[in-house]
Amino acid sequence: MKKTLLFLLISISIFAHDGGHFGGHDVLRIWHLTDGSIIRGNFSSATSDVLILEQFQGAKVRVPIANLSPQDQKFAVVKINRSSRMNGFVEVDKPVSYLPYFNLLALAFFALLLMEKLRLRLVFRRFAYSSFLLAFVALACKTAAEVTPITPSAPVTAIPKTSVSYLDSAFAPYKPALSTTSDATYFYVNSTGLPAHNMMVGITAWQQQVPIPQPYTGTNHWSIPLQPVYASTPLSTTNNFMKGAVALAVNGVPIFNALNNRGEDSFAIGELDQWGGHCGRGDDYHYHAAPLHLSTVSGLKAIAFALDGFAVLGAKEPDGTAMLTLDTNHGHEWKGNYHYHGTTNYPYVIGAMRGKVSLDPATPAPENQILPQAFSSSVRPALTPLSGATITDFSAPTSSSYNLTYKIGSKTGSVNYSWNTSGLFTFNFTDVNGTQTTSTYQRK
Ligand SMILES: [Zn+2]
Ligand SMILES: [Zn+2]
């Protein structure tokens, strides 16, 4: 009898840890590394290239994802995608409750006493042992695999819903070039993405892309949430949102991460014009720096709205006083609400997304773009950087044509282009040796 009970106890403890669950603090997942070694820990969080594992008693360890075995790299991606999709929800490792263990053990103990007393045949006793073990394992699994929302350490402040009239007044100076609508959830902006100010002049790192009107209309309009919600953990722009826009300027031009899609400070490396913008691979004009020049028209009003719904102000507070100290998100609370500020130094507009945003599950960090957002569309294949070129002049001969002039050394080249109402684009290129070419493209 004593022997049997001991066997039962050992079996239970083996079964409880053998199932490969990474739920309990004392049940750590084993990660295999490429050099053959192993590391124990449960997925906690991750940056673009480092996995942070939680070990015994909450100790954290950083593991470069590249050092994991191919199979565990795949597993890491699944965990990262799952946690970013939950956006504000993380898989919390729940300590396994030991109460069911003791209940079961007590039950098993009395059952065994009874069976010994009745002198049941061995086969019945074995059947009884197995049933208890199975029930116990099922219970342990159920306790471990649960997903719990983060409990914020400080109470979440209720953020007032942004009024449509406030948003409308910020975008109003740029009508009718852009138009706005709204429903109960979003304020929508239709625009071409082309500003009224000049563009392109001053760029010294040019990819040969030029601004063309973009179809940010209809279902491809910009959407600004009317009810911002604080994110439990603001996502940093240093390792997130390197694809797509993070904000929309009040003139209908999107604002991208200060870092380009290669992770470089776009402004610092000469990619931007005098207005803080340039064109992407779809010939889509966008800012990477703060369009503080919009304050000339906007005054103390917002110069942009982040895609989390919070306003981006210029260099002053709404009451005209000097800008308060900014937090790491590049903003601060103001009268029960929150806003960002545009500045002339990195990160220029947003350091981390203070509000909760939905992420595109198809594009993992750092290229995790915010949804919903408007998408640019190209009419021609993307070009390559033109070494040594500086854009010296840009003009609009008509409302549907632009002339761009650049210099390489003392030689001048140009791109003169136009489009018509049926979406036919005609490009006339003159390179610095005087060679001329013409290309036409039809927008589909
Ligand atoms: Zn860009
Ligand atoms: Zn402020």
Interval 79-107: pLDDT, tens: 766 665 544 333 333 334 445 555 555 56
**In contact, 367 and 243? CB cutoff 8 Å:** yes
Which amino acid does the sequence have at 123? V
Spatial separation of the C-alpha atoms in residues 192 and 215, rounded to whole Å:
6
Cα 331 to ligand 1 centroid, rounded to whole Å: 23
Q: Which residues surround ligand 1, an ion (CB under 5 A)?
A: 280
On whether the CB atoms of residues 281 and 269 are closer than 8 A, the answer is no
pLDDT at 43: 78
**Beta-sheet strands, E only, within 250-387:** 254-256, 277-279, 285-287, 304-306, 311-313, 331-334, 337-341, 352-355, 358-359, 370-371
C-alpha 280 – ligand 1 centre gap (Å): 5
C-alpha distances in Å from residue 147, one per residue of 72, 130, 378: 21, 30, 41
Decide: 226 and 162 in contact? Cβ < 8 Å.
yes
At 237 the three-state DSSP class reads coil
Is 248 in a helix, a strand, or coil?
A: strand
- In angstroms, rounded to a whole number, what is the distance separating the alpha carbons of residues 45 and 49? 11
Q: For residue 319, report the distance from its CA to the centre of ligand 2, in Å.
A: 9
Distance (angstroms) between ligand 2 centre and the Cα of 326 equals 8
Q: How remote is the CA of residue 287 from the centroid of ligand 1, in Å?
A: 7
Low-confidence ranges of the chain (pLDDT < 50): 1-26, 86-98, 139-155
Nearest-ligand number for the alpha carbon of 262:
1
> What dihedral do alpha carbons 291, 295, 298, 300 form, nearest 10°?
120
Which residues, at least 6 apart from 403, have a Cβ–Cβ distance to it below 8 Å?
A: 393, 394, 395, 396, 397, 414, 415, 416
pLDDT of residue 26: 40
Residues found in the chain = 444
Which residue, 309, 308, 304, 344, is CA-closest to 323?
A: 344
Ligand 1 centre and the CA of 277: distance in Å? Answer: 7
pLDDT at 191: 98
pLDDT reported for residue 81: 66
What does the pLDDT read at residue 37? 60
Q: What is the DSSP letter of 292?
A: G
Kindly give the distance from the C-alpha atom of residue 269 to the centroid of ligand 2, in angstroms, as a whole number: 28
Strand 389-398 versus strand 370-371 pairing type: unpaired
Give the fold, CATH level 3, of 25-90: SH3 type barrels. (2.30.30)
User: How far is the centre of ligand 2, averaged over its atoms, from the C-alpha of 221 (Å)?
Assistant: 28
